[in-house]
Amino acid sequence: MNETIAVKAEHLYKVFGKKPKEAARRISEGATRDEVEAFGTAAVIDASFEVKQGEIFVVMGLSGSGKSTLIRMLNGLLEPTSGTVTVAGTNITAVSAAELRRVRQKSVSMVFQHFALLPHRTVLENAAYGLEVQGVPKAKREAQAQRIVELVGLSGWEQKLPSELSGGMQQRVGIARALTAETDVLLMDEAFSALDPLIRREMQEQLVELQAELGKTIIFITHDLNEAMFLGDRIAVMRDGRIVQVGTPEEILTDPANDYVAQFVQDVDRTRVLTASSVMEPAYAEVALTSGPRNALRKMRDLQTSAVFVVGRGRQYLGVVRDRDVMRQVKNGESDLSVILRKPQGVSPDAPLVDLVEPSIESGLPLAVISETGKLLGTIPKITLLAALGNVPLTTQSIPIIDTPTTLTQRAMSDALSGTDPESSSSTTTASTTDDQGGQR
């Protein structure tokens, strides 16, 4: 996604009634919707946002929140009472009818909730319809439509009529028609709400795949929170005609702007929205490879942990070392941590929490969060993961969170560091409290 602005809305108002401009003016001066009811019904109030090129921007709200009215102003189907809409650099609220038609043909396509297919035309003809309106020759438009029909999974169905298709297949035709038109912006108004749950999920996944492949800018309207969280790069939450918050799914889930948004998102599946980067902690138990065994043992003693992460130059993740192995090196006067390194698999910062549960259970250590370039970004202790899954805030952020208790006593570590060699290792270890992987029995 780049930073080019594909669609921009500035202070949009839409009032239906006898005196819409008067109602909009009074609301802008502080009046409520109820107070201007005599002049008209305010469907959209002071909506402002920008949609970046290549972004999936979701507008989410309950029935009557104004989201469908808003999207219809974005392609000129409804004229704003006041405010402006800019699409691909053109202010469509200040152009002629002919210019508006050109913008719709070249820049904006729309997918409707109830498909709006032409019943007497085949799948291929429906898909090619937008290009036909533009005057594209038949051979060229059908070739383009054929490519998109195959892309949306309808190969072999080109000559079927809409009545011969399932609901999910009909919606694919609607998407194919919008994509075939080769516009940069795709508007989708509750496009999947009429579909069965399994087909709906399949369509959501396909839309994400298509967007990644084609790089379209998509503005998607929905009342379904989980759909918004799954699809959206960013989400605008609407209530009573106003946009009350715009943010990433993670921002809206973890930092709701008000009680309404908090209540709205309270039942969302957090495991599929939050990622490793959103819950990771600083890697407190960390040493450089060149620092040697004594510094590693000192770090473990001070943090009372059984292992530390080892990094190279530029904080490249190299692995972990365990307290018993490091103790042995200190006693033997060795200096190379690399010979005792173990390298548990790290996790991506973009990995959803649902994918972290199993590796966290299997690991005796906090999970290492590793960048694409191999840099150690942070760690996820089990307690942090559990707190995030349960929506429990960690209120002890000033205390380093370590969840791999040491298998050696602090006295044993201090003795090793000072050169003292106790006669019996049994007097300096907490016998059999942990297994060799650092996990408590």
Domain borders along the chain are 5-107+183-268, 277-427
| pTM, rounded to two decimals | 0.72
Q: pLDDT-based confidence at 437, cuts 50/70/90? A: very low
Give the model's pLDDT for residue 403: 56
How many percent of the chain have pLDDT more than 90?
42
How many percent of the chain have pLDDT more than 70?
91
Q: Provide the sign of the torsion angle of the four alpha carbons 321, 325, 327, 329, taken in this order.
A: negative
Task: Pull the structure tokens for residue 326.
Answer: 């490091």
Q: Does residue 154 register a pLDDT over 50?
A: yes
For residues 144 and 409, the model is more confident at 144
**Distances from the Cα of 314 to the Cα of 192, 289, 311, 367, 375, angstroms:** 46, 11, 8, 19, 7
Give the model's pLDDT for residue 292: 92
Residue 269 region by backbone torsions, left for phi larger than 0, else alpha for psi between -120 and 50, else beta = beta
When pLDDT is averaged across residues 133-149 and rounded to a whole number, the result is 89
Let me know: does 23 contact 42? Beta carbons within 8 Å: yes
In the CATH hierarchy, which top-level class contains the domain 277-427?
Answer: alpha beta
Task: Pull the structure tokens for residue 71.
Answer: 């999207």
**Amino acid type, 424:** S
Domain 5-107+183-268 matches domain 277-427 at the CATH topology level = no
Distance CA 369, CA 371 (A): 7
Distance CA 135, CA 143 (A): 14
Say which range, 186-195, 256-265, 408-417, has the weakest mean pLDDT.
408-417
- The per-residue pLDDT for range 214-258, each reduced to its tens digit, is 889 999 999 888 889 889 999 999 999 999 999 998 889 888 999
Give the model's pLDDT for residue 65: 92
Let me know: does 148 contact 227? Beta carbons within 8 Å: no
- The per-residue pLDDT for range 38-84, each reduced to its tens digit, is 999 999 999 999 999 999 999 998 888 999 999 999 999 999 999 99
Long-range contacts (CB closer than 8 Å, 24 or more residues apart) made by 410-419: 410/301, 410/304, 412/327, 413/297, 413/298, 413/300, 413/301, 413/323, 413/327, 414/301, 416/297, 416/327, 416/330, 416/331, 417/294, 417/297, 417/298, 417/301, 417/330
In the CATH hierarchy, which top-level class contains the domain 5-107+183-268?
Answer: alpha beta
Task: Pull the structure tokens for residue 437.
Answer: 């992987």
- The per-residue pLDDT for range 348-362, each reduced to its tens digit, is 998 988 889 888 888
Residue 126: closest CA among 147, 109, 145:
145
Task: Pull the structure tokens for residue 92.
Answer: 């469509």
Distance CA 285, CA 309 (A): 6
When pLDDT is averaged across residues 92-116 and rounded to a whole number, the result is 85
Please, what is the average pLDDT of the chain?
85
When pLDDT is averaged across residues 270-292 and rounded to a whole number, the result is 88
